[in-house]
């Protein structure tokens, strides 16, 4: 599996990752680290308690990491949570809608994680 094939499998933007990281060597290095990154589990844990500060901070971190790696859909989903809990913003989502969005993020992350692990084993 090539990096381009990995990005197709995870519905990411290889071109976006290239713009940020500039070299396949760096894209490869950082995408392989994603499954071990604890920010996703921290975000899900924050969702269980609906802790607004933790939700904002973790969603903001997920958004940034995913944007840099070209995982645009994951970044956008995390951005919705980040903006929902940004200090000073009024809540627009119900708690159930927040939980649904977090489940969507979790599903996308799990898919990406599985495909990245397949990629790592294939090279």
Q: Tell me the domain boundaries of the chain.
A: 3-122
Sign of CA dihedral 46, 110, 35, 62: negative
CA distance 17 to 101: 24
Residue 123 pLDDT greater than 90, yes or no: no
Four-way CATH pick for 3-122: 3.40.50, 1.20.120, 3.30.460, 2.60.40? 1.20.120
Q: What is the pLDDT of residues 21-76, one digit of tens each?
A: 999 999 999 999 999 999 999 999 999 999 999 999 999 999 999 999 999 999 99
């Amino acid at each position: 599996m090539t990096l381009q094939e990995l990005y197709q499998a995870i519905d990411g933007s290889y071109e976006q990752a290239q713009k940020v990281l500039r070299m396949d060597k760096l894209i490869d290095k950082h995408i392989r680290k994603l499954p071990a990154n604890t920010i996703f589990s921290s975000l899900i844990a924050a969702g269980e308690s609906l802790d607004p500060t933790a939700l904002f901070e973790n969603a903001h971190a997920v958004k940034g990491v995913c944007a840099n790696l070209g995982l645009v859909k994951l970044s956008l989903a995390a951005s919705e949570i980040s903006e929902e809990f940004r200090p000073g913003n009024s809540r627009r989502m119900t708690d159930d809608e927040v939980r649904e969005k977090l489940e969507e993020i979790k599903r996308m992350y799990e898919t990406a994680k599985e495909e990245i692990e397949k990629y790592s084993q294939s090279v």
